[in-house]
Structure 1
Amino acid sequence: MPRLEGKLAVITGGSSGIGLAMAQRFTREGAFVYITGRRQNELDMAAALIGQRIATVQGDVQDPRDLDRLYARIREDQGKIDILVANAGFIDPRTLVDTTEDNFDKTFGVNVRGLLFTVQKALPLIRDGGSIILLSSIAAFKGIPNDTAYSATKASVRSFVRTWTAELKDRSIRVNAISPGAIDTPIIDALASTTEDADAIQVSFRAATPLNRLGQPEEIAAAALFLASDESSYVAGVDLVVDGGLSAL
């Protein structure tokens, strides 16, 4: 039997990369999935790729009005949420010296403020016993040069997991995080200004990872499936690291 049969899932940032892989896996496991993203054309392509049990809502997690519109539609269409994956994220690598106010504000605006209100505004719809999954990163606890603001946002996500596990215990809502390592997504290309630089980044990540390769989005989706399903019914407050051993060294 599919592991998410009859479940309703919401995945922010679900039109590409890890979010898209999770939406594909969740629908294959029987869930109906709402995905969000800022660009409607990418959402349309994702929906066409998935094909069934999928709905899209264009919006930016930084805009409370967009979040209100998302949850109003779900309330009208479905009336409940079983699984919420706060996956939308932003990275613009900067050292301490190079960090600007705009870089800091946008990084925290998406990764912390946007994530917090994504969860807060969903709470009236999340059923008791539901699952909330937050996307963190090994940057939360591993010193990575050029990730000054980004690493701090992911440390905040880890703190949210602990706090919200305590605050939502009376509703038996499980709050967990996934911390990926180096994953082969379009984000890596966005970190470089040239194809050669992107290749060099991939080479350096592979060399630093004990499994000698980058992870695939589908491998993060598999971890998310575990945390979303009843197979993790006694798992709460954890940070599930999926990084090929990168953070162990």
Structure 2
Amino acid sequence: MTGKFENKVVVVTGGTSGIGLATAKAFSSQGAFVFITGRRKEALDAAVREIGGRVTGVQADMSKLSDIDRLYDAVQQQHAQIDVIFANAGGGEMAVLGAITEEHFQKTFDTNVKGTLFTVQKALPLLRDGASIILTSSTTSISGTPAFSVYSATKAAVRNFARNWILDLKDRHIRVNAVSPGVTDTAGLNELFGNGESAENTKAYLASLIPAGRIGQPEEIAKAVLFLASDEASFVNGVELFVDGGQVQI
């Protein structure tokens, strides 16, 4: 069976769980050669088995430039060009103003901003003209969240990368867009809120704020990413596509 991304070369950073894993699976099911990254080898190996198809796992921390180089060395061993980059690796922890440490700030910006920047910049020699870049931002790019200011600032920065890079890359006809998920049922969400009854109550409360009446699923974000990467989005450039059940629109 052939798919929209048959024989396309796709890089998904942070592809071992949640949105990254769901998106890697979706690209693979559409016939792509998929490269995923993850920091932990055990999780990376498990993700490769789950994704199936023509997938390669590269152990890498995308906040480290040497690891980014290792990723693209692995791609070059098999392919001459990259068609799609989903710069998804990221994360964050809660810290209220007054309790923010330098370590918290540095870790969050290194992962979400530095990592995204150099994931894209170091790919430029391999990116084909007309390629598609999708960045993972967040609804927090425009919506305030208590104790989440550092993370929110990084995602606003990522969103603005898309605005600026479409100008830097216009002569190569490379599109750059940002996908901004809302509350999504991932392992990362559980890490924020913990497990048990308290976490479930928090999720229920968050769902009550969403017009769709529920939190999102990783597969729903993946569908948006594949749209932005596809020819169907050939005239979509520099946007922030909210996939949040309507939460930030009210």
Q: TM-score, normalised by structure 1?
A: 0.98
Superposed CA deviations along residues 166-225 of structure 1, whole A, max 9, x for unmatched, are 100000000000000000001111012442232122112101101110100000000001
Q: What residue is the counterpart of 2:247 in the other structure?
A: 246
Q: Following the alignment from structure 1 to structure 2, what is the Cα–Cα distance between the partners of residues 196 and 187?
A: 17
Deviates more, 1:126-135 or 1:67-76: 67-76
Counterpart of 1:68, as a letter, is D
Alpha carbons 2:137, 2:155 under 8 Å: kept: yes
Q: Following the alignment from structure 2 to structure 1, what is the Cα–Cα distance between the partners of residues 199 and 71?
A: 35
- Aligned residue runs from structure 1 range 31-50, under 5 A: 31-50=32-51
Q: Following the alignment from structure 2 to structure 1, what is the Cα–Cα distance between the partners of residues 208 and 127?
A: 42
Q: What residue is the counterpart of 2:104 in the other structure?
A: 103
Q: Following the alignment from structure 2 to structure 1, what is the Cα–Cα distance between the partners of residues 129 and 236?
A: 15
How far residue 240 of structure 1 moved from its aligned partner, in angstroms, is: 0.4
Alpha carbons 2:28, 2:52 under 8 Å: kept: no
Alpha carbons 1:174, 1:235 under 8 Å: kept: yes
Q: What residue is the counterpart of 1:203 in the other structure?
A: 204
Q: Following the alignment from structure 1 to structure 2, what is the Cα–Cα distance between the partners of residues 197 and 133?
A: 34
Counterpart of 1:197, as a letter, is S
Counterpart of 1:235, as a letter, is V
Q: Following the alignment from structure 2 to structure 1, what is the Cα–Cα distance between the partners of residues 167 and 96?
A: 34
How far residue 236 of structure 1 moved from its aligned partner, in angstroms, is: 0.5
Q: What SS does the aligned partner of 1:129 have? A: strand
Q: What SS does the aligned partner of 2:77 have? A: helix
Counterpart of 1:192, as a letter, is F
Alpha carbons 1:99, 1:148 under 8 Å: kept: no
Q: TM-score, normalised by structure 2?
A: 0.97
- Percent identical pairs in the alignment equals 51
Counterpart of 2:167, as a letter, is A
Alpha carbons 2:82, 2:127 under 8 Å: kept: yes
Q: What SS does the aligned partner of 2:193 have? A: coil
Q: Following the alignment from structure 2 to structure 1, what is the Cα–Cα distance between the partners of residues 55 and 172?
A: 27
Superposed CA deviations along residues 104-155 of structure 1, whole A, max 9, x for unmatched, are 1100010001110111001110000000000000100011111110000000
Alpha carbons 1:189, 1:195 under 8 Å: kept: no
How far residue 159 of structure 1 moved from its aligned partner, in angstroms, is: 0.9
Alpha carbons 1:188, 1:198 under 8 Å: kept: no
- Aligned residue runs from structure 1 range 158-197, under 5 A: 158-197=159-198
Q: Following the alignment from structure 1 to structure 2, what is the Cα–Cα distance between the partners of residues 187 and 196?
A: 17
Q: What SS does the aligned partner of 1:68 have? A: helix
How far residue 160 of structure 1 moved from its aligned partner, in angstroms, is: 0.3
Q: What SS does the aligned partner of 1:77 have? A: coil
Q: What residue is the counterpart of 1:17 in the other structure?
A: 18
Q: Following the alignment from structure 1 to structure 2, what is the Cα–Cα distance between the partners of residues 12 and 194?
A: 26
Alpha carbons 2:162, 2:238 under 8 Å: kept: yes
Counterpart of 1:51, as a letter, is G
Q: What residue is the counterpart of 2:224 in the other structure?
A: 223
Cα root mean square deviation, aligned: 0.9
Gaps of 5+ in 1: none
Moved over 2 A (4+): none
Alpha carbons 1:36, 1:57 under 8 Å: kept: yes
Q: What residue is the counterpart of 1:63 in the other structure?
A: 64
Q: Following the alignment from structure 1 to structure 2, what is the Cα–Cα distance between the partners of residues 116 and 197?
A: 36
Q: Following the alignment from structure 1 to structure 2, what is the Cα–Cα distance between the partners of residues 194 and 31?
A: 35
